[in-house]
Amino acid sequence: MNHMRNESTSCLKRISLCRSVFFLGLFLLSAAFAARAESTPPNVVLILSDDQHWRDYGFMGHEHLQTPALDRLASESLVFSRGYVPTSLCCPSLASLITGRHPHEHLIVGNDPPETQGISRRSPEGQKLFEAGREEMTKRFSKWPTLPKLLGEHGYRSLQTGKWWQGHFSKGGFDEGMTKGSRHGDQGLAIGRKTMQPVFDFIDRCSDVEQPFFVWYAPMLPHSPHDPEKSFVEHYESKVDSIHIAKYWGNVERFD
């Protein structure tokens, strides 16, 4: 039981790239086949989980977690079961995913700029330095082409939802988005937890004009707060001696 607790707790220190690599690989394969077989390009939905251990899926062999939707998708797809992250923090990991570059190339190696010694970040001066530092991080990031920009050159329309650290969604090359500028994702963090409507509306608009689309779906799940509805938790409570792990598992099922 302690082994189970340690394994699941470690999820809070990792970014799960397994699913990201899987969906990106699936897109590349689909695009290659589509180029040969038909003129209509495939639509792309990139799904990113947040703070999830790489084995915490049914299709990856977890003995308790229930992820039937993802299990079904995995059974119909090519699964890359080994993904590695050079910097296990949100901001640099997402920057690598969208640019295809390592942190030493895009130069984003932390979630935030370093603090200036002797100046509190909460002070007016510290806040000003913090904002300037974040702007510098975004400038470094903007030097690289991103997946939405590259797809846009081929007629795609793109939507950003969920986690996004690099300022306004447009700085990542997205045509539409939920995040307006603050760290983490501000309004974008409502996706998957409070609503899915922005995604549904975007897909409907693209479908109406027969335009291929790319959706960046990065909800803050199963990331804390671990606050799923009781129906997602109660069937796990008897399988683990920690209510905290049961709630985390509930968030994983909620994500599914």
d(CA 23, CA 41): 16
Nearest to 106 by CA among 131, 138, 135: 138
Question: Which backbone phi and psi does 19 adopt, to 5 degrees?
Answer: -70, -35
- Residue ranges of domains in the chain: 2-84+145-255
DSSP H or E segment with residue 44: strand 44-47
Q: How confident is the model at residue 26 (pLDDT cuts 50, 70, 90)?
A: very low
Of 7-16, 101-110, 187-196, where does mean pLDDT reach its minimum? 7-16
Domain 2-84+145-255 in CATH 3.40.720.10: yes
Question: Which backbone phi and psi does 50 adopt, to 5 degrees?
Answer: -130, 120
pLDDT, one tens digit per residue, over 159-178 is 999 999 988 999 999 999 99
What's residue 12's pLDDT?
Answer: 39
**Mean pLDDT across the chain:** 85
Q: pTM (2 decimals)?
A: 0.82
Structure token digits, residue 35: 């180029």
Q: How confident is the model at residue 153 (pLDDT cuts 50, 70, 90)?
A: very high
Structure token digits, residue 171: 């700085």
Q: How confident is the model at residue 7 (pLDDT cuts 50, 70, 90)?
A: very low
